[in-house]
Homo-oligomer: A and B are copies of this chain.
Amino acid sequence: MSASSTTPIRFAVLGCGRIGTMHAEMLSRRVQGAAVSVVFDVVDAAAAAVADEFGCGVAASLHDAVTAGDVDAVAICTSTDTHVDAMVAAAQAGKDIFCEKPISLSIAEVDRGLAAVEAAGVKLQIGFNRRYDPSHKAVADAVQHGAVGDVHLVNIISRDPGPPPIEYIKVSGGMFNDMTIHDFDMARYVTGSEVVEVYAKGAVRVDPAIGEAGDIDTAVVLLTHANGVLTTIDNSRRAAYGYDQRVEAFGSNGKAASDNTHQFNSVLATEQGYLRPPLENFFLERYARSYLDQWAAFMSYVRDGGPSPATGADGRAPLVIGTAALRSMQENRPVQIAEVDKEIS
């Protein structure tokens, strides 16, 4: 066995909230060849709890964490508005970077972060975990391997089991940037083609308080890709029957589609019919394996090189699509991606 496969990759985990704790646990215990050297959180107690649980150090500052000598790579799991500063610091320290989505709600900030990464020549992978969900991945693979033939249509259904707190909604950047961003990425991932036009409709149907906070909770988006594929996205903040996540790619040879996981696989059949349990409740259950496979992809990318499984450009594009979607909804017209891109640059 070569040294490269036996020397662990040592991580600094930035942010010890729900998602940062999950990543720290995986990197400490379940990702082959990974180790956590140090964690950091602006809330000292949060960092201390994670360090205690997983037996790693606590950094006094984000800067200390990313520059530590026993750190090879940085996992950015802080709040969205601090991602780019962390990315720049890690890049300047020469560390490879995993960054949770979205990189930033500001495309200008995104560009600042990506420029720092490019200047430093470090590796970067954005946390679009759904790409590693085995069911969705099977759809993308079927497209890529030609099993679907020329792709004509893609349908993405993405419905949460319940809305987040209103306080979160207010700082979320809006449904398109917070929730649909995953679907924008899925559309690009499955088709392998850039989006060139967006038409979006939104509504407040789940909770009036979401509307009062200036956001929507129900949406349909129609994307036109550079290769002519038409993608529909269907979103809701609340599906009574669980977390509904489906992707279907239709083309000249047929279709590939992912389906949901029920809470368990049983059925009760009576005079009323056949009853199966609701769907798995939310992303930590449904996407558990995708998070692990995402880390396996990162490890392989850092060790063996090759293209990033989810590049900085992959992190940027959905934010541009989200901007176009918001404008489309507000002005009730299809919006070209080029129109938004021109204004940014």
Contact = CB atoms under 8 A, between A and B. Distances in A.
Contacts of A150: 205
Give me the 7 closest cross-chain CB pairs, A-B, nearest first.
A134-B264, A254-B270, A138-B266, A241-B269, A240-B254, A274-B276, A259-B265
A275 B272 contact: yes
Contacts of A201: 222, 224, 230
Interface in A258-315: 258-278
B273 A276 contact: yes
Interface in A114-153: 134-139, 142, 147-150, 152-153
A239 interface: yes
A264 B150 CA distance: 24
Interface in A158-214: 159, 199, 201, 203, 205-206
Interface in A231-255: 232, 234, 236, 238-241, 250, 252-255
Interface string A219-230: 010101000101
Contacts of A240: 149, 252-254, 269-271
B222 A199 contact: yes
Interface in A3-18: none
A203 B225 CA distance: 12
- Copies of this chain, complex-wide, total 4
Contact of A261 (B142, B265, B332): B265
Given A232-B234, A255-B239, A268-B147, A155 B152 contact: no
A31 to B, nearest CB: 14
A334 interface: yes
A56 interface: no
A236 B250 contact: yes
A273 B239 CA distance: 12
23 contacts: A134-B263, A135-B266, A138-B277, A147-B270, A148-B268, A149-B240, A155-B157, A206-B252, A220-B232, A232-B232, A239-B254, A239-B255, A241-B254, A241-B255, A253-B270, A253-B271, A254-B268, A256-B266, A256-B269, A259-B266, A260-B265, A273-B276, A273-B277
A170 B222 CA distance: 28
A318 B55 CA distance: 44
